[in-house]
Chains A and B, each alone.
Chain A
């Protein structure tokens, strides 16, 4: 018999947990759900648009009753649970219904806080929490005229806006001197207040309510009479206010929410402000989990939807008995859902000592943007009037990105970034439907919007899978996300800051790299088992990554898995669109001799190579080679002294050089000689992505060393070392790492930098995005300031190279992996 799971609370957090659980373990439990409200699960954050008349209740239902039926979930609506018997492991509902459980999930949410003043229990005083409250407000708007909202926070302002849209005369009473003080700083709050006043709302700031007036229904409010509480009322700017009292037909209390913990407390579960849970969302009773607004985790209670969904994922993982996910708290962001007012805030937006503040303020256009920055990382953001880049700033904040590279223009937004590859084309909302968003796959804005709407897509991965937009080079990812968020609005689930490697696992690249090292995982089955991979043998995304990580960490012990390599690396040539291969022999430093060239020419004649081309990396590409010709061709090349150029691999490719001091009248050092030494040091090394080097003999930089992963620019007094550049879709110029005096130092620093990249970058991450992600200062700290660390890195690189520098072509010419190259014959 299946175990029984009972969910108490039919709201967004609880039902999202069920959805996640059903994805992971659809057959694990018999599931019953109790909800106090008479509705199936609906989107509570969309109550404001319902109140404002922009949406109907049907629009905001997330899971209709058919969903519960299809998933075999028994739903009891309008029947709240009134008792949990932890000894007998059963719940008792108001109707008297009793159901036993093996696991219990509490998602009782929160209650609006009703300030304890006389009269607060009068009819006409309500919270703003559920559909019943919305109905009560709509009813009041039909008969009454004056509404007062107590609380100038997010919820209060949305309620006030909705009531005003329904024709009521609305006054907002707020205890503090700024609106939404938990989300806004003073300048933004002032701008918000002004905009709302222009819409017709009235405000009583720094005003404390002491009594709700009325006999059998609310008629008004009385405020505190002390100097502080009464200050702005005494100013007399408020029509309708007598200075001490105000008329009201409806009072909405929106001064905050309190976790709903009555049921849990009665059952003897440990509660503080909320039901206390650990990082696995388990309460002090191991059979009982809790998620959502009723929860207190690491001293925090959350009232926004994104953290609740993160909690849901974790709770589902543990209910599914996978036992690996942890919830470690959330950084939240907020948008105000008042049509016509754009406002965004995230993180710690009030600067503290040691923080720096970047501000853009344009009163004429009613725009205000503020970023709080520490150590070149965003701590918090407040935006008013133009929130287009909120998602971007929030992403930079969550990922802790070093912004030093674009700090001077960051306030102008992502589209202003010189290297974003999209110039000034932006403002997705303003783009026409035929505007091309993804140049790689020819996907227009209309295609994306259409797919999101007709197929019900919510995540970037969904959009990629269905439209291919941003699935190739990825430079339009920001645009696609912007379209996603503008199309699905609040339903858009921002991508987690720790992105899993692929659908086979919830673990990120960093998790995998760390686990391989810490737990000494030395082959792929060990990784699958230790990290509880969801698929028996991975997929075409994770296997090449794991193969690389294992190889990089255990060069002497791990046996390379050819079947986990992309065909180019398995066949040691580049597959072309007609299924033939190209062959690029290595030419160290771009140097060659007449006999080298003769040998290449002979090989081309012998195997009918249809086309030859000189590459940008100073070597020769031979196109159109049949797969079965590869091994004999390689034998001829090996006999002439060539080794593989690795032009096909996520590997060290070439060292480009200029003529240098030997010939060039400007040359300061022997750039070709140094290039050859660097190539002899690094050839054969597998990398997270392709890796190119160059050595220029003088600052004229003819070898283009400043767009290479590792570039050397020679000067009279030594060698400048540059890192993290690339050509390609997003050209990035290198950062200067340092200047050194000798060739020996160049080789040591090169080995150390290369090894650091090999050990720490994510698979398929080139040095340019890696340097931007971890920050130049971090790399400098490791390579320049820590001499012992640098030498250790360089030594680890050398050890790995002893194993790696075996020419794969010669090995195959001598018979290794022969099955790869010969077709089978029908024998009988």
Chain B
């Protein structure tokens, strides 16, 4: 089952920030980047499960607040020299509303 789920109006997520969406098996961090694109990744850093939603967003990357790993929001992959990957979910904005695909 891959359904688009309606989350919230885009303006509810701060630019260069994120909001957390609780789902059955954990949390998803929904990011809004400086260019108003949205990305959804599992809210757990591949390193030690730090909450990525709490990190600083720059470009299309987020820096984990625990040990400064940088995660590419498009792919969920850690930037070199670190190595690891977190789940990503499709996300989109339609008519000012944010949707993610679960």
Contact = CB atoms under 8 A, between A and B. Distances in A.
Given A539-B58, A567-B54, A575-B65, A824 B30 contact: yes
Interface stretch (A159-167, A185-193, A558-566): A558-566
12 contacts: A535-B59, A536-B34, A536-B59, A537-B59, A540-B56, A563-B14, A577-B48, A819-B13, A823-B20, A824-B19, A826-B21, A827-B8
Contact of B23 (A536, A544, A579, A826): A826
A827 B34 contact: no
Q: Considering residues A465, A539, A577, A824, which has the most beta carbons from chain B within 10 angstroms of its beta carbon?
A: A824
Given A539-B59, A827-B7, 11 more contacts: A536-B59, A537-B59, A539-B58, A540-B63, A540-B70, A543-B58, A566-B56, A819-B14, A824-B30, A825-B21, A826-B6
A347 interface: no
Interface in A769-828: 819, 823-828
Which 5 pairs between the two chains have the least Cβ-Cβ distance? A540-B63, A563-B16, A567-B54, A540-B56, A828-B6
B34 A537 contact: yes
B54 A575 contact: yes
Contacts of A565: 56
A571 interface: yes
B22 interface: yes
Interface string A524-562: 000000000001111110011000000000000000001
A565 B50 CA distance: 17
B81 A465 contact: yes
A580 to B, nearest CB: 10
A466 interface: yes
B81 A466 contact: yes
A67 to B, nearest CB: 21
A824 B59 contact: no
B58 A535 contact: yes
Interface in B1-58: 5-8, 12-17, 19-23, 27, 30, 34-35, 48, 50-51, 54-58
A544 B20 CA distance: 22
Interface string A26-45: 00000000000000000000
Given A466-B81, A566-B65, A575-B65, A824 B58 contact: no
Contact of B55 (A540, A562, A825): A540
A563 B15 contact: yes
A537 B15 CA distance: 11
Nearest to A563: B16
Interface string A462-490: 00011000000000000000000000000
Interface residues of B, number: 35
Contacts of B23: 826
A444 to B, nearest CB: 17
Contacts of B90: none
A248 to B, nearest CB: 55
Interface in A111-167: none
B51 A579 contact: yes
Contact of A826 (B7, B15, B35, B81): B7
A225 B39 CA distance: 85
Contacts of A824: 7-8, 12, 19-21, 30
A563 B57 contact: yes
A562 B15 CA distance: 10
Nearest to A535: B59
A564 B70 CA distance: 15
A819 B7 contact: no
Interface in A606-625: none
Interface in A245-272: none
B65 A543 contact: no
B56 A563 contact: yes
Interface of A: 465-466, 535-540, 543-544, 562-568, 570-571, 575, 577, 579, 819, 823-828
B51 to A, nearest CB: 5
Nearest to A576: B66
A564 B63 CA distance: 11
A544 B56 contact: yes
A212 B27 CA distance: 85
A100 to B, nearest CB: 39
Contacts of A577: 48, 66
Contacts of B80: 465
Q: Considering residues B27, B66, B81, which has the most beta carbons from chain A within 10 angstroms of its beta carbon?
A: B81
B21 A563 contact: no
A466 B82 CA distance: 8
A535 B65 CA distance: 21
A823 B22 contact: yes
B34 to A, nearest CB: 4
Contacts of B16: 537, 563-564
A826 B27 contact: no
A44 to B, nearest CB: 32
A763 to B, nearest CB: 14
Contacts of B81: 465-466
A544 B16 CA distance: 13
Contact of B58 (A538, A566, A579): A538
Given A579-B51, A828-B5, A819 B59 contact: no
Nearest to B32: A563
Nearest to A441: B67
Contacts of B50: 579
Given A563-B15, A828-B5, A823 B56 contact: no
A567 B29 CA distance: 14
B27 to A, nearest CB: 7
Interface in B54-81: 54-59, 63, 65-66, 68, 70, 80-81
Contacts of A575: 51, 54, 65-66
B14 A823 contact: no
B69 to A, nearest CB: 10
B38 to A, nearest CB: 12
Contacts of A564: 16, 56
A566 B27 CA distance: 21
A538 B63 CA distance: 12
A540 B56 CA distance: 6
A739 B30 CA distance: 55
Nearest to B64: A540
Contacts of A563: 14-17, 56-57
Contacts of B20: 823-824
Nearest to B19: A824
A584 B66 CA distance: 20
Given A537-B16, A537-B34, A563-B16, A823 B59 contact: no
Contacts of B13: 819
A525 to B, nearest CB: 10
Given A540-B68, A575-B54, A819 B6 contact: no
Given A466-B81, A539-B58, A540-B58, A823 B19 contact: yes
Contacts of A535: 58-59
A823 B48 CA distance: 22
Contacts of B55: 540, 567
Nearest to A564: B56
Q: Considering residues B13, B16, B35, which has the most beta carbons from chain A within 10 angstroms of its beta carbon?
A: B16
Nearest to B49: A579
Nearest to B30: A824
A827 B54 contact: no
Contacts of A466: 81
